[in-house]
Homo-oligomer: A and B are copies of this chain.
Amino acid sequence: MLAPLQEKASVLVEALPYIQRFAGATFVVKYGGHAMTDPEAARSFARDVVLLRSIGVRPVIVHGGGPQIQDLLGKLGIPSTFRAGQRVTDDATMDVVRMVLVGQVNQDIVSLVNQAGGRAMGLSGADGQLLLGQKLLVDGQDVGRVGEITRVDTDQLSLLTQGGFIPVIAPVAVDVEGRPLNVNADLAAGAVASHLKAAKLLLMTDVAGVKDAAGQVQASLDRQQARALIAQGVADGGMIPKLDCALQALEAGVGKVHIVDGRVLHALLLEIFTDRGIGTEVV
């Protein structure tokens, strides 16, 4: 009868030192994919975020919303083209992107986290000029209001996280004239984590982790190994931008980057509070 008790005890003994270590630490989570579209996974995610907050971690969420944008563009009969994976964003498209990300997806996540017992605060880059950006040329071409982030107002995020809030950020930046810019969500999460010098950046994906040439998921990679996987062409199309994002964040002072399998329920807790983790960490 005592065996299961001792297993419980060993989980606790394993987890408690992480809890102490992460008290007051900032974790930036890129949220999207299955964990956002599946209702049970979404509730499990929200519960994890609130539990993290409850023990003193400061989670900051950055989300995407491509499918929802596509949906409203369709209803309004506005066609989209893409260049190198980026949506060409004219002014009419930008209005739709902003309305969907800021006025729909963001608000739904805020309510989801609040229903799990947290105090989420929805933010866009315009709020207090949180995300200042500039236009991003893609392959040297102007693709409209697509942008990259040049400054993050970390004071604002500190004020909110110290006040007990969980910031939920839509990846819409503003330029110096106050006009909106459409930013890729992974890059936005990386920029936020980098400027905050977050303890962790967690990128939620719909795959088991980064695989090596033999197709084996790697629990941990150092930067050199990550660069080698990219150079050798082992990392596939979807994973290369995430590894790039991870490497940039580590250079900028982020403690660790985790590529997490968002299809596993409570993936965040398992990645953070167990020695082996889930998915791949890049250090």
Contact = CB atoms under 8 A, between A and B. Distances in A.
Contacts of A160: 159
Contacts of A223: none
B55 A12 contact: no
Majority-rule SS of A interface residues: helix
Q: How large is the interface on A (under 10, 10 to 19, 20 to 34, 35 or more residues)?
A: 35 or more
Copies in the complex: 6
Contacts of A19: 19, 54-55
A149 interface: no
A209 interface: no
Contacts of A80: none
Contact of A95 (B17, B23, B104, B127): B104
A66 interface: no
B177 A266 contact: no
B110 A120 contact: no
A169 B120 CA distance: 16
Nearest to A179: B111
A2 B278 CA distance: 10
Contact of A102 (B8, B55, B103): B103
A52 to B, nearest CB: 8
B12 A269 contact: yes
Contact of A269 (B9, B110, B124, B165): B9
Interface in A98-138: 98-104, 107, 110-112, 114-115, 119-124, 126-129
Given A6-B266, A51-B17, A127 B110 contact: yes
7 contacts: A2-B264, A5-B264, A9-B269, A17-B51, A55-B55, A98-B103, A103-B104
